[in-house]
């Protein structure tokens, strides 16, 4: 049986995105004439342990921290339950 659990943004009902914070450096080489080259992405991204849900609706701004729920202003048990059941690592 395929597991199902519908979750949506508790503020606007919109679609939620499952996200992880990642650190990534951007760099630009400086050419001999002093001008900057195009942006390059050196090295691999460092994926952090902070997973969160973000509303995909423009200007809604809903964010819910799954990894550190104590930082949320409001608890949403249905979102915590979803994460427990469906949360996965990105890599
Ligand atoms: Zn929303």
pTM (two decimals):
0.76
Tell me, in angstroms, the distance from the centre of ligand 1 to residue 64's CA: 11
Tell me, in angstroms, the distance from the centre of ligand 1 to residue 41's CA: 31
CA 50/CA 74 separation, integer angstroms: 18
pLDDT in tens, 48-82: 899 999 999 999 999 999 999 999 999 999 999 99
Tell me, in angstroms, the distance from the centre of ligand 1 to residue 32's CA: 48
Tell me, in angstroms, the distance from the centre of ligand 1 to residue 54's CA: 8
Q: What's residue 3's pLDDT?
A: 82
pLDDT in tens, 5-39: 889 999 999 999 999 998 888 888 889 999 999 88
Is 89 a residue whose pLDDT tops 80? yes
Domain boundaries, the chain: 16-86
Q: What's residue 14's pLDDT?
A: 97
Residues 53, 59, 60, 62, CA torsion sign: positive
């Amino acid at each position: 049986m395929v597991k199902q659990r519908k979750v949506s943004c508790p503020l606007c009902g919109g679609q939620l995105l499952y996200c992880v914070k990642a650190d990534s450096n951007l760099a630009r080489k400086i050419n001999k004439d002093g001008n900057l080259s195009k942006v390059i992405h050196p090295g691999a991204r460092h994926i952090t342990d902070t997973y969160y849900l973000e509303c995909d609706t423009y200007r809604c701004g809903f964010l819910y921290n799954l990894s550190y729920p104590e930082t949320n202003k409001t608890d949403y048990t249905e979102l915590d339950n979803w994460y427990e059941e469906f949360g996965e690592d990105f890599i």
